[in-house]
């Protein structure tokens, strides 16, 4: 329901309520333009139930804040054509930054979801201490912020994606077994390195952020019923394996924010030792290290963490396409184990869609069939409970895109968070 733009007589609404009301109405207009596309002020008023004078005032403020801009005249309108307004893609950007076992990545997205700048660098993070890694990531973030500001944009916020147990509210990374990190106050450390910036710095689990990006990807798809999808499970594969879950359109975090550590499900009791110190975790049989151990010798160049992960996977893909028996057997083995754990998750959560992300998506042509076969065989509900398996097209950008999206979503919820200043960052 759209909020009324004025208080009724005798309601006793105080000044603070008027401020809150206007903030919410700014959000209504901005989110409507995002969802519906370019609209005239009159059309926005008709669609939202706000009166025309109020919409004109709200649009003027949103333009002033760099969130909307004037577009073309409305085509086909009767009488005097109205001026369309649209999202100002260049006005505000969110930045996502990821720490993973063998790379760092940073991406800036504008308000319309377009990529402004992105960079990924190979780095053997598991053999560096946290301070050295955060130093290098801070430099990448500064480069991204500079690129945004140089084109006249503002920074809505920076969100860090890390593969481990995260307390988002406190900014603390409790444990990241594959990195060898524990009790690291990553937000405080990054804010210090960035010079206590005016924009907010957040942290979240990388699979959670990747799931948000994958959910947006699915909702934006043109295939039938895409807009009806409300529940997904994302499996993101790298050296570790993470899971992000969206249920009823909302991220499922669990009672203490630690949900999604699906890589540590004990599915292979006779398996190897995991980075967490336990035996038989799912990621010991489906993680990228497990695949490389099966598919390559110890001196094979694709095991070199100084090579970009996409280069390494391109070589595995080439070998599979060339019919390498060892490569194909390794992929079949991993795909079968992927199906074992995937079926458990489908039995428990019954998602509409199971999304393959990270390296699972890249090698999806060989992993998807055994996964789907296991779901058919192991899920008790008929026809896999209606779950379908899809490969994300976001590759290794999902977590950083989800991080950037988190910051931008805050602006859509409260447009007053953004205002131009001489530094070019969000106030």
Supply the DSSP string of 225-286, one letter for each residue.
Answer: TGGG---EEEEEESSSEEEEEEETTEE---TTS-TT-GGG-B--TTS-B-TTS-BSBTHHHH
Supply φ then ψ for residue 68, to 5 degrees. -120, 165
- 10 Å Cβ neighbour count for 358? 30
Cross-strand partners of 243: 235
Give percent of the chain above pLDDT 90.
71
When the pLDDT of each residue in the chain is averaged and rounded to a whole number, the result is: 89
Q: What is the pLDDT of residue 221?
A: 79
186 Rama sector, left if φ>0, alpha if ψ -120 to 50, beta otherwise = alpha
Select the more confidently predicted residue: 88 or 368: 368
Summarize the confidence of residues 309-317 as an average pLDDT. Answer: 93
Tell me which DSSP letter residue 91 carries. T
**Smallest Cα–Cα separation from 405: which of 152, 27, 42, 413?**
413
Lowest mean pLDDT among 21-30, 368-377, 417-426: 417-426
Summarize the confidence of residues 87-95 as an average pLDDT. Answer: 88
Per-residue burial over 378-404, b = 16 or more CB atoms within 10 Å of its CB, e = otherwise:
ebeeeebeebebbbbebbbbbbbbbbb
pLDDT score of 202 more than 70: yes
Segment 325-365, tens digit of pLDDT: 999 999 999 999 999 999 999 999 999 999 999 999 999 99
pLDDT score of 318 more than 80: yes
Q: What is the pLDDT of residue 395?
A: 87
Lowest mean pLDDT among 36-40, 75-79, 157-161: 75-79
**How is residue 348 written in tokens?**
């428990």
CB-count exposure of residue 314 (10 Å: 0-12, 13-18, 19+): middle
Q: What is the pLDDT of residue 412?
A: 94
Lowest mean pLDDT among 146-155, 261-270, 321-330, 417-426: 417-426
pLDDT score of 8 more than 70: no
Q: 339 and 370 in contact (C-beta within 8 Å)?
A: yes
**How is residue 278 written in tokens?**
């336990």
DSSP secondary structure letters along 355-412:
EEEHHHHHTHHHHHHHHHHHHHHH-SSGGGGG-EEEE-S-GGGHHHHHHHHHHHHHHH
CB-count exposure of residue 136 (10 Å: 0-12, 13-18, 19+): middle
Summarize the confidence of residues 39-68 as an average pLDDT. Answer: 93
Q: 303 and 280 in contact (C-beta within 8 Å)?
A: no
- 10 Å Cβ neighbour count for 211? 30
Q: pLDDT confidence of 275, banded at 50, 70, 90?
A: confident
pLDDT score of 409 more than 90: yes
- d(CA 313, CA 299) in angstroms, rounded, equals 16
Select the more confidently predicted residue: 366 or 12: 366
Q: What is the pLDDT of residue 14?
A: 53
CB within 8 Å of 103: residues ≥ 6 apart: 120, 121, 122, 123, 125, 308, 309, 396
Q: What is the pLDDT of residue 79?
A: 52
- d(CA 174, CA 165) in angstroms, rounded, equals 5
């Amino acid at each position: 329901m759209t909020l009324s733009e004025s208080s009724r007589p005798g309601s006793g609404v105080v000044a603070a309520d008027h401020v809150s009301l206007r903030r919410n109405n700014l959000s209504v207009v901005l989110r409507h333009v995002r969802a519906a596309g370019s609209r005239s002020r009159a059309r926005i008023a008709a669609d939202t139930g706000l009166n025309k004078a109020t919409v004109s005032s709200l649009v003027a403020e949103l333009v002033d804040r760099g969130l909307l801009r004037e577009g073309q005249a409305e085509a086909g309108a009767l009488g005097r054509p109205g001026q369309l307004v649209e999202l100002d893609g260049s006005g505000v950007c969110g930045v996502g930054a990821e720490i993973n076992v063998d790379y760092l990545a940073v991406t800036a997205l504008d308000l319309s979801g377009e990529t402004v700048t992105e960079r990924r660098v190979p780095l053997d993070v598991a053999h560096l201490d946290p301070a050295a890694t955060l130093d290098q990531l801070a430099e990448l973030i500064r480069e991204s912020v500079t690129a945004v500001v140089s084109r006249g944009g503002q920074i809505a916020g920076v969100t860090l994606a890390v593969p481990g147990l995260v307390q988002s509210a406190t900014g603390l990374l409790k444990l990241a077994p594959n990195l060898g990190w524990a009790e690291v106050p990553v937000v405080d450390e990054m804010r210090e390195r960035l010079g206590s910036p005016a924009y907010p710095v957040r942290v979240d689990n990388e699979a959670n952020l990747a799931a948000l990006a994958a959910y947006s990807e699915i909702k934006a798809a043109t295939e039938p019923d895409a807009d009806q999808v409300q529940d997904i499970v994302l499996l993101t594969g790298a050296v570790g394996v993470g899971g992000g879950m969206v249920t009823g359109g909302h991220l499922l975090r669990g009672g203490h924010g630690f949900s999604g550590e699906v890589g540590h499900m004990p599915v292979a009791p006779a398996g190897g030792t995991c980075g967490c110190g336990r035996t038989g975790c799912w990621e010991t049989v489906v993680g990228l290290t497990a695949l490389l151990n099966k598919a390559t010798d110890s001196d094979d160049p694709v095991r070199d963490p100084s090579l970009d992960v996409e280069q390494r996977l391109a070589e595995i893909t080439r070998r599979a396409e060339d019919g390498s028996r060892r490569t194909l057997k390794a992929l079949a083995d991993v795909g079968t184990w992927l199906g074992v754990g995937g079926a458990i998750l489908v039995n428990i959560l019954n998602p509409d869609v199971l999304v393959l992300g990270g390296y699972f998506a890249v090698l999806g042509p060989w992993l998807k069939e055994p996964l789907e076969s296991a779901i058919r065989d192991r899920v008790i509900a008929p026809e896999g409970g209606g779950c379908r398996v899809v490969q994300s097209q976001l590759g290794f950008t999902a977590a950083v895109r989800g991080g950037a999206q988190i910051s931008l979503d805050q602006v859509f919820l409260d447009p007053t968070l953004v205002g131009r200043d001489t530094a070019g960052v969000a106030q």
